[in-house]
Amino acid sequence: MMRLPLPTILAALVVVAAGSVLVTTYFKSAAPYVLDLSGLKLNETKVVELDYIPYQIRIASNKSNAVYEISIYIDGMFMLIPSEINVVLYNEFRAFVNNGTVINIKPIDVKSTHVKIVATYVYDWPQL
């Protein structure tokens, strides 16, 4: 059996690594990422930055009639599932949501797994 010297093996690994760059998108788990907005006052903003793209983002609040503006920034293309019209989004998603809303994310082509989520408490629905 022939043995290769360690410097030869390391040099081969460096050549292989230099020739390819791979970005892998990680999902943290099947459970949703819970964005707790309970402490926000009207017109206050909460910013969360994650090192992974969550499969789902669930909005949680102690205010049942609160409406939040949610912006999700991802470096690349992604879809929201289920989507009636299958719109592909580039870099940003923005919507008005309320307590209990679940946002499902399907990355398509991303350059980074870094995600920034910005939530602003914008107004209250009138209670009937």
Where does the pLDDT of residue 26 fall: very low under 50, low under 70, confident under 90, or very high at 90 and above? very low
CATH number of 23-124: 2.60.120
DSSP class per residue in 103-116: EEEEEEEEEEEEEE
96 contact partners, CB below 8 Å, separation of at least 6 = 67, 68, 69, 70, 122
Read off the pLDDT of residues 99-108 as tens digits, 9 standing for 90 and up. Answer: 989 888 888 8
Residue 66 burial (CB count, 10 A): 20
Where does the pLDDT of residue 14 fall: very low under 50, low under 70, confident under 90, or very high at 90 and above? low
For 14, the enclosing helix (H) or strand (E) is helix 6-18
Domain residues of the chain, as ranges?
23-124
Euclidean distance between CA atoms 52 and 123, whole angstroms? 30
